[in-house]
Chains A and B, each alone.
Chain A
Amino acid sequence: MLTMLANILIDGIAYGMVLFIIAVGLSITLGLMRFINLAHGAFAMTGGYVAAWLVRVQGVNFWLALLAAVLTAALIGALLEALVLRRLYRRSELDQVLFTIGLTFVFVATTNLLFGAEVQLIPLPLLLSGPVDLGVRTLPAQRILVLLAGLAVSLFSWWAINRTRFGVWLRATVDNREAAAALGIHIRWVFGLAFAFGAGLAGLGGVLGAELMPLEPYYALKYMVLVLVVVSVGGMGNIFGSLAAALLLGTVDTASKYLASGYGSLFFFAAMMLLLVWRPNGLLIKAKA
């Protein structure tokens, strides 16, 4: 019984961290910037494919490929933001949904054309490919990297948003564009950089999450539901909220796999509903009475 509990917690936290690392970019673009960015999965996929291609075909070192993947996703994000997406900030939410879902289809078709329908794997370096002995049991080494990366990303994002001048500009711009512009904040640059940051994090998630969510052309659509659930339960733009939501939902889902796998994803979505009723503004924010 005790080993079962330990197993559920260990696997749950490991899975939750993967969910978080895939969702954290969206909690910036959708959560913080209030842009309904359904193309998040497409940015994550771009990062993943870049890393897979570099490591497998070009023989590049995994860590360099990871860096290149994040930068490529950020760059494509920045370009798209500068050319088209910025025109949508003031449009209705439906317009944003339609545009970004269309963009996602373009990414799906392009990926299919360039790389084919097969699943792509990112070969891991020796350090990450085996199991690690935790004493009680073993855990894939790659999950430990995800765990550390998740913590690092959440701390860094929190610091960047809450403790830096850039974070102040960003929050001011989201709250009141006109006032922010009047105060001399260059809102174009601020939004462009923030979007690129979100897209870069998506790319990071695409690479690190690929162990559980393998890359294929439909990746961009397939995992959007999971990611949207994490961001909405965590609360708009609340990095630690997303982290808590991902860990909680990951643990619930893992527990149901150990104890009641016959129910499929029932408990995951039931937990989502209950959490949204209990704390509609985010897991870590008390609902107003």
Chain B
Amino acid sequence: MKPKLYITATVTMVAALLTATHAFAVDVKVGMIAPFSGPFAHYGKLFKDGAEAYIASQGGKLGGKTVQLIYRDTGGPNPGNTKNLVQELIVKDKVDYLGGFVFTPNAMAVAPLIQEAKVPTVIFNAATSQITEKSDYFVRSSYTLWQVTVPLAQHIYKQGTRKVVTAVTDYAPGVDAETAFKAEFTKLGGTVVESIRMPLPTTDFGPFAQRIKASGAQAVYTFLPGGPPNLGFVKAYTENGLKAAGVEFFGTAEMDEFDLQKFGDAAIGFTTSFHYSAAHDSPVNKAFIAALTKQSKDAVANYASVGAWDGMYIIGKMIEATGGQRDGDKAMAAARQLQWESPRGPVRIDAKTRHITQNVYLRKVERVGGVLINKEVLNFGQQVDHGLTK
């Protein structure tokens, strides 16, 4: 991202700030931290749709209390600004809970604040393992790269593949993914023949596809940020004939529902390991999608909106446990005990790490009734955050 993009982000943010405060009788205030402007604005909408759909599904109240969501726009990854926004939310708006957080650096930046003010904070997305270690008041409803990668590495080894090449984007989550894969796969006795790190601004992935082909690996494990890089890599994989050359594709978030339809038939057969598929076959998931569609007709059911939905569930349970009173420690004690049926399947909060324990699924892209879906083909079972328990 270019720095000049922040300028628009900031301008729009000021506008958002001016319109966001309207007072009425509320029992509980929840500060929502997400990008609502700039190139990541769609995350803000996914969070908003997921969170508001959940509250609406509970009859407009959480734990019997009226809840006000106060939205704050961070633009992109911007720890300094996020810290200021959260400080203001805690001191001026006196929020009882915080939710949201797309980017790891933004979540890290507020750890000292929530620790001091004892404000329980639910992370809807940011997926670096160490975040929850930074404050006792963090609880996470998303996933970590370790969590979805370790069972994938085990699966690849189990199916008889011994030589794998990793290709990740050269930034913190990419490196996290590479480390997780290598650690597990070599521990089992497999070989990572080459570890390719692709620069963040890469547009032409052809050369990397050729390197993957030349590496002699039977499969490629990959992690890229969503949107254009992801799309470019998948295209390069197909167009350079890697599939035909016998190099299997294994990813994580690459076939995310938000961009999936754009891939077209080229996506069919791509295999990823992830915790949520919009095609998960359960009544709870169907209810989630129905609530989401009712909330906003262009809402997308994906990992971000389900993270927000489950995040609001956690906040609701904390409100219930404290009777709407401000008591961070009591709320967190309740959060550590939680266990419920999420749209993604059965989940619980790990009492020690405060990270969500959940099923991870192996999924294959298929076309069903005209649309592309991630069909769950294998359930790896309940997974903890392997990044914290390693």
Contact = CB atoms under 8 A, between A and B. Distances in A.
Contact of A257 (B42, B207, B262): B207
A118 B259 contact: yes
Contact of A119 (B198, B202, B227): B227
B41 A213 contact: no
Contacts of A11: 204, 206-207, 210
A111 B8 CA distance: 15
B206 A14 contact: yes
Contacts of B112: none
B5 A218 contact: yes
B346 interface: no
Interface in B253-267: 258-259, 262-264
B206 A214 contact: no
A140 B206 contact: yes
Interface string A127-149: 00111000001101010000000
A118 B203 CA distance: 17
Contact of B203 (A14, A138, A213, A217): A213
A2 interface: no
Given A11-B210, A118-B42, A257-B202, A216 B4 contact: no
B41 A258 contact: no
Contact of A261 (B2, B42, B197, B227): B197
Residue among A8, A214, A225, A226 facing the most chain B CB atoms (10 A cut-off): A214
The majority secondary structure among interface residues of chain B is: helix
Interface string B189-227: 000000011111111101110110010000000000001
B116 interface: no
Contacts of B60: none
Interface in A217-237: 217-218, 221-223, 225-226
A213 B229 CA distance: 9
Given A11-B204, A118-B259, A261 B232 contact: no
B41 A117 contact: yes
Given A131-B239, A221-B2, A214 B197 contact: no
Contact of B231 (A14, A18, A121, A261): A121
A155 B196 CA distance: 39
Interface residues of A, number: 46
A118 B262 CA distance: 8
B239 A213 contact: no
B170 interface: yes
Contact of B199 (A118, A212, A258, A265): A265
A264 interface: yes
Interface string B238-257: 01110000000000000000
Interface in A97-133: 101, 105, 108, 112, 116-121, 123, 129-131
Contacts of A216: 39, 227-228
Nearest to B202: A257
A138 B199 contact: no
A14 to B, nearest CB: 7
A184 interface: no
A7 B211 CA distance: 10
Q: Rank and list the top 7 A-B pairs by shortest CB-CB distance, nearest first.
A: A140-B239, A264-B199, A257-B207, A117-B42, A214-B228, A15-B204, A218-B39
Interface of B: 2, 4-5, 8, 39, 41-42, 170, 196-204, 206-208, 210-211, 214, 227-228, 231-232, 235, 239-241, 258-259, 262-264, 298
22 contacts: A11-B207, A14-B204, A14-B206, A18-B204, A119-B227, A119-B262, A121-B262, A130-B239, A131-B239, A138-B241, A212-B204, A216-B228, A218-B5, A218-B39, A221-B5, A254-B206, A257-B198, A257-B202, A258-B211, A261-B197, A262-B170, A265-B201
